[in-house]
Amino acid sequence: MTSAAYLSRDGQKVLLIEKNKECGGLVNSFTRDGFHFDAGVRALEDAGIIFPMLKDLGLQLDVVKSKVSLGIENEILHIENLDSLVKYRDLLKKIFPESEQEIDEVVKIIRTVMKHMDVLYGIENPVFIDLKHDRTFVFKKLLPWLPKFIFTVGKINRMNLPVEEYLKTFVKNPSLRDIISQHFFKNTPAFFALSYFSLYLDYFYPKGGVGKLPEALKNKIIEYGGEIKTETKIIEVMAEKCFLKDQNNITYKYDNLIWAADLKTFYKITKTEGLLPGIKTKMEDTKNKFLKNRGGDSVFSLFLEADEPLESFRKIANGHFFYTPSKLGLGETHREELNYLLSNFEKIKKEQILSWLDKFTKLNTYEISIPGLKDPELVPPGKTGIIISLLAEYDLFSKIQNAGWLDEFIQELENRILSVISDTVYPMLKDKIIARFSFSPLSIENRVGSSEGAITGWSFQKSMPVINKIQNSDRSVLTPVPSIYQAGQWAYSPAGVPMSILTGKLAANRVLKRVKKFRKT
Ligand SMILES: Cc1cc2nc3c(=O)[nH]c(=O)nc-3n(C[C@H](O)[C@H](O)[C@H](O)COP(=O)(O)OP(=O)(O)OC[C@H]3O[C@@H](n4cnc5c(N)ncnc54)[C@H](O)[C@@H]3O)c2cc1C
Q: Tens digits of per-residue pLDDT, 228-240?
A: 999 999 999 999 9
CB atoms within 10 A of CB 352: 13
Give the E-state strand segments of 383-498 in sequence order. Answer: 384-392, 433-439, 484-486
C-beta 391 within 6 A of ligand 1:
no
- Indicate the SS3 state at residue 384: strand
C-beta 455 within 6 A of ligand 1:
yes
Share of the chain above pLDDT 90, in %: 83
Mean pLDDT of the chain: 95
384/305 Cα distance (integer angstroms) = 6
Omega of the bond prior to 494 within 30 degrees of 0, cis?
A: yes
> For residue 121, what pLDDT is reported?
82
464/484 Cα distance (integer angstroms) = 21
Has residue 185 got a pLDDT over 90? no
Max avg pLDDT among 108-117, 184-193, 349-358: 349-358
Has residue 520 got a pLDDT over 80? no
Q: Which atom of ligand 1 is nearest to the CA of 491?
A: 26
Q: Across residues 33-51, what is the average pLDDT?
A: 96
390/200 Cα distance (integer angstroms) = 17
C-beta 41 within 6 A of ligand 1:
yes
C-beta 450 within 6 A of ligand 1:
yes
Could you tell me if residue 33 is left (phi over 0), alpha (psi between -120 and 50 degrees) or otherwise beta? left
C-beta 510 within 6 A of ligand 1:
no
Ligand 1 pocket mutation pick from 1, 21, 26 by most atoms within 8 angstroms of CB = 26
Residue 189 makes CB contacts below 8 A (sequence gap 6+) with: 159, 160, 161, 162, 163, 460, 494
> For residue 385, what pLDDT is reported?
98
Distance 448 CA to ligand 1 centre (A): 7
> For residue 117, what pLDDT is reported?
86
Q: What are phi and psi of 485, to 5 degrees?
A: -120, 160
C-beta 20 within 6 A of ligand 1:
yes
Distance 327 CA to ligand 1 centre (A): 32
Q: Across residues 319-338, what is the average pLDDT?
A: 96
**By alpha-carbon position, which residue is closest to atom 22 of ligand 1?**
489
**By alpha-carbon position, which residue is closest to atom 47 of ligand 1?**
448
Q: Cβ-count burial of 422 within 10 angstroms (0-12 exposed, 13-18 middle, 19+ buried)?
A: middle
Global pTM reads 0.96
The string of pLDDT tens digits covering residues 398-422 is 999 999 999 999 999 999 999 999 9
Residue 237 makes CB contacts below 8 A (sequence gap 6+) with: 243, 244, 245, 257, 259, 266, 269, 270, 271, 484
> For residue 355, what pLDDT is reported?
97
Q: Which atom of ligand 1 is nearest to the CA of 269?
A: 41
Q: Across residues 26-41, what is the average pLDDT?
A: 97
The string of pLDDT tens digits covering residues 189-227 is 888 888 888 889 999 999 999 999 999 999 999 999 999
Ligand 1 pocket mutation pick from 232, 394, 448 by most atoms within 8 angstroms of CB = 448
Least Cα distance to 412 among 397, 393, 434, 433 occurs for 397
Quote helix, strand, coil % in the chain, to nearest 5: 50, 20, 35
Distance 93 CA to ligand 1 centre (A): 37
43/370 Cα distance (integer angstroms) = 11
Q: Cβ-count burial of 390 within 10 angstroms (0-12 exposed, 13-18 middle, 19+ buried)?
A: buried
Q: Across residues 342-350, what is the average pLDDT?
A: 96
Task: Compute CA distances 93 → 8, 75, 281, 363, 398, whole Å.
Answer: 54, 11, 56, 19, 40
The string of pLDDT tens digits covering residues 231-277 is 999 999 999 999 999 999 999 999 999 999 999 999 999 999 999 99
The string of pLDDT tens digits covering residues 13-30 is 999 999 999 999 999 999
Has residue 144 got a pLDDT over 90? no
> For residue 151, what pLDDT is reported?
85
Distance 295 CA to ligand 1 centre (A): 12
C-beta 497 within 6 A of ligand 1:
yes
